[in-house]
Structure 1
């Protein structure tokens, strides 16, 4: 009989727990309020909620025999909804929301964090409402990401701080790279002092680039039809953390290291490019390194150094993570100076410390890589913070970071509850008035742009139409509670009256006679400009292209056209931020034929004629460009006349096809108007008796070639003689041997020599 009664009571208790909004618990002897929270709420730290529900101020007021009321159903509803919100955020992230719907997914994450904060504060209804909004926002982010997943962007500057710059291969200078900038194959990205950047790839892999660092995207390719991605990066300077989404047949992410081949089977690792080497610290899986005559495998929590000349060091174990001392995870503090401390690690040269307002550390508050102590103090404003620490060894390898710890910093005055329902921040509208709605606690007062607004005494909701001026508008909504605690939200709203939408494709894109754009290859990157932050949709009539992207803050956008056929018509739809829509129709044709020019005859390498004429035939040529203008084209022939300058002349004929492709013919022609130059000369002997032979040598140079003979004048006493010298190719000079027919033994004197080249340029040199 006793067993039956006990069984009935247990059933009744279960009905109260899951069927009613509250349960009643009688405190047993020796039982604490934490014990009751552990048993009925599955969390001993929720003991404050039990006190609050029973109007108790301290645990000492809980006595044996006392009946406590616990709102179990509200707690369970909030917990279940938070789990749903987390699942929705994870689903959206897997769908690529951080790349294609960054603003929406970040809003969902913020709402989720707010739901967690409300849960910790015991505000279960508010926690439930925040989690519902987070789940809804994550669902919208997932839909947006799925609709934009066919965008042609290869990588995105997802977040960053400070000075971030990018450079394309053909650009002479670096340019600013704001957040949401797109990066393509062979683009470079760098950070300057006190700056960082996070690059997000389409497979959700990301690279965090530290300050004073630089990398190049060596490969970034996407096969949209088969949903395959292939990426490869190279760190050229500084250091970076890599967080990869994993390797699969659908995606391949590679890291290029000078001096070694790499095979990455890791999801988390660190790179540091030094002057002549690269340090690699691995925190997951394995990284295979193959250098000159040596291969190693860097396993989890190991590091290795690769020299640029190919030598690879043996892997060494990294230092372990420091143990967190305080603040503990989920600790709560009032806004003030807060001390952070961790356990020392044997062998640590220094410690890396990070504090941010998000768990991915994309919004840093304080960062240091030079701490030699195991504690640090910071003064923090109210908010939610995350922090982590790593130990660096004597060789400069950072060990794994501690698991991020969350810290709640609350205001010394009570925080006034405020939520804005509409409009969303950064809204663009074509109306001159916008309705601001929201909700607050019943006892709070609300001001919108310093104007007091009535709060509904039953629901806490409020609303006020606000007039807008053209351009950017700021709307400040402030809530104040009876204790003086404040909370304000600033909305940035843009009022756009002008509905004009412009579209311009890359000015370097040529057109044919019919006005159609000429595509130079079957795979082509189409670039253009339109309104800033507008949605751009590209649809073709032949190949059934349906591509979508968004223009950046400068109005720039890109599409990658693959397997383009001979001709197609495109309809480009532009939807501005204010909702205005325009459709543009353009025709594109493929012309990948090279221009061809052929010379009728080769021009001379040397000439003494100032005017030069070059003729020839041409095919698929629009213009033939030269330094002084253009050649004359007549059908399939061309001619070009130019006046040569004395000396070397470089003639470049650049044939340009209608599609912009080029062919260059270069010829070098020397205009020789100068006489030969006299060099050293000699005569032996200088004095001979009558009827004896003498030998004369004279060196000379000329760019176009010397004449085979030279006229020599010499004298013997009062007698003057003329002789002919012959040019000796082997000796490189004029030579002659003559019989002197002087009357007596006398001195011989060289008087002059006449030098001449093949073009008739001559000069008589007086000899001494």
Structure 2
């Protein structure tokens, strides 16, 4: 009987199941030449359901069901334990039914955990200079966005002339929109279990500078630019988009991968590329060297309410961009000025 059970059921200890299926209670009830019924389909279905439910429970736990769907995953585990008890009693119909219920409960727990882990996050308008507007999906028009306004998924943000805006995500990663820029926060999700945040931003026009990383595991941002595919692992980069095409510059050791019309280019540290509208990416180029500060001196102290900044002119530069903040992370902005032709800038009202 053990050899028969091993051959047809894959487990010698399942020989009582053959007795039960054959209408026998003990081995002494066997007669020579008697035809036996081997419940291969019944046992196989029950054991397969048991295995499947265990895998589903493990998958749900792996994405945080014990945190985000505790009651449901507890029910799934209890049903699975009951199915194991039924298996020990060789009650295959009950084993199958309980295992199927356990699998269903574990699947529900998985969905609950996934939903709670992949929640829409919020960002904050951490700085604004000039006029900054926003439009949520339910809004009919554009409205002024005050400092520290909460920005949500699918919200549009734009800056007008001589205006800038800084968007700070939960993990302290941030985007700075320059004047006359229009961006859409298409996706903004947070995973509290892994402390990871993912975002996708569409740049309609204008330009922004991104500094990511912050306090989470996120080191990338997905950027949508018309007719250009960009896979960005860099945590420090700049993007511009207008009718003439797009420009990308990378300031990080991690790469920026650009694809357009079948052409591809990979940007390393301090490299940039221009993609003209309807064309392949051009050859990448090295960005210009950083300007050298002249006044005040590096780490110098100024005790006035204003300061005159100056730096050595950089060969080949068509303009300069100056930002001043009250903190090293540039979360408390004082001023931001781009397109400066001369290598100097008068900073007023520092008090």
Relative to the length of structure 1, the TM-score reads 0.28
Cα distance, 1:175–1:338 mapped onto 2, change above 3 Å: closer
Change (3 A) 1:337 1:163: closer
Q: Mark the CA change 1:340 to 1:270 in structure 2 (over 3 Å): closer, same or farther.
A: same
Determine the structure 2 residue equivalent to 1:340: 309
Bigger strand share: 1
Distance 1:351 1:274 in 2: 19
Q: Distance in 2 between matches of 1:363 and 1:247?
A: 18
Structure 2 contact 173–212 (Cα < 8 Å) conserved: yes
Extract unaligned runs of 5+ from structure 1.
1-148, 384-768
TM-superposed CA distance for 1:363, in Å, is 4.7
- Residue by residue over 1:52-94, the C-alpha shift from the partner in whole angstroms, topping out at 9 and shown as x without a partner, is xxxxxxxxxxxxxxxxxxxxxxxxxxxxxxxxxxxxxxxxxxx
Find 1:317's aligned residue among 279, 286, 290: 286
Once the two structures are TM-superposed, the CA of residue 328 in structure 1 deviates from its matched residue by: 0.9
Q: Is 1:260 matched up with 2:228?
A: yes
Q: Is residue 2:164 matched to residue 1:199?
A: no
Q: CA offset at residue 370 of structure 1? A: 3.3
Distance 1:252 1:279, change over 3 A: closer
Distance 2:217 2:304 in 1: 50
TM-align CA RMSD: 3.0
Q: Contact between 1:191 and 1:210, CA under 8 Å: does it hold in 2? A: yes
- 1:375 is matched with 344
Query: 1:206 Cα shift?
Result: 0.9
- Note if contact 1:153-1:182 (Cα within 8 Å) is conserved in structure 2: no
Structure with the greater alpha carbon radius of gyration: 1
Counterpart CA distance in 1 for 2:131 and 2:139 is 18
**More relative contact order in 1 or in 2 (CA 8 Å, sep 6+)?**
2
1:243 alignment partner, one of 192, 197, 211? 211
1:202-222 deviations in Å (ceiling 9; x for gaps): 333211111221100111122
Give the secondary-structure state (helix, strand or coil) at the position aligned to 1:229. strand
Distance 1:212 1:241 in 2: 14
How far the C-alpha of 1:247 sits from its partner, in A, is: 12
For 2:227 and 2:215, the matched residues in 1 are separated by 23
What SS does the corresponding residue of 1:346 show, helix, strand or coil?
A: coil
Deviation at 1:364, TM superposition (A): 4.6
- Please give the alpha-carbon distance, in whole angstroms, between the structure 2 residues aligned to 1:366 and 1:277: 28
Q: Distance in 2 between matches of 1:364 and 1:156?
A: 14
Measured after TM superposition, the shift of residue 335 of structure 1 is: 2.5
Contact 2:129 2:335 in 1 (8 A): no
**Structure 2 runs not aligned, ≥5 long:** 1-116
Contact 1:335 1:379 in 2 (8 A): no
Write the deviation string for residues 476-507 of structure 1: whole angstroms up to 9, x where unpaired: xxxxxxxxxxxxxxxxxxxxxxxxxxxxxxxx
Alpha-carbon shift at residue 238 of structure 1 (Å):
1.4
CA distance in 2, matches of 1:204, 1:376: 28
Q: Determine the structure 2 residue equivalent to 1:212.
A: 180
> CA contact under 8 A between 1:322 and 1:343: conserved in structure 2?
yes
- Of residues 290, 298, 319 in structure 1, which corresponds to 2:267? 298
Deviations 1:166-188 (A, max 9, x none): 11234221122223322222211
Residues 246 and 266 of structure 1 are in contact (CA less than 8 Å); yes or no, is this contact kept in structure 2?
no
Q: Deviations over 1:675-731 (max 9, x none)?
A: xxxxxxxxxxxxxxxxxxxxxxxxxxxxxxxxxxxxxxxxxxxxxxxxxxxxxxxxx
* 8 Å contact kept, 2:197–2:218: yes
Deviation at 1:377, TM superposition (A): 4.5
The structure carrying a bigger helix percent of its residues is: 2
1:338 Cα deviation from its structure 2 partner: 4.3
Offset of residue 379 of structure 1: 5.4
Q: Counterpart in 2 of 1:173?
A: 141
Tell me what 1:157 maps to: 125
Aligned partner of residue 289 in structure 1, secondary structure: strand
Structure 1 residues 365 and 185: CA distance shift in structure 2, 3 A:
closer
2:120/2:188 contact within 8 Å kept: no
In structure 2, the partner of 1:328 is 297
SS in 2 for 1:331: coil
CA distance in 2, matches of 1:249, 1:341: 38
In 2: Cα distance, 1:369 partner to 1:234 partner: 22
Asked whether the 8 Å contact 1:259–1:310 carries over to 2, the reply is no
Give the match for residue 357 of structure 1.
Answer: 326
Is 2:252 the partner of 1:287?
no
After superposition, where does 1:682-693 map in structure 2 within 5 Å?
none
- 1:229 corresponds to which of 166, 177, 197: 197
Is the Cα–Cα contact under 8 Å of residues 127 and 333 in structure 2 kept in the other structure?
no
Specify the SS of the correspondent of 2:272: strand
Residues 188 and 199, structure 2, Cα contact 8 Å, conserved in 1: yes
Q: Distance in 1 between matches of 2:322 and 2:161?
A: 18
Q: Per the alignment, do residues 307 and 372 of structure 1 end up closer, same or farther by CA in structure 2, a change over 3 Å counting?
A: closer
Say how many residue pairs are matched: 234
* Shift in alpha-carbon separation, 1:250–1:379, aligned structure 2, 3 A: closer
1:375: how far off? 3.4
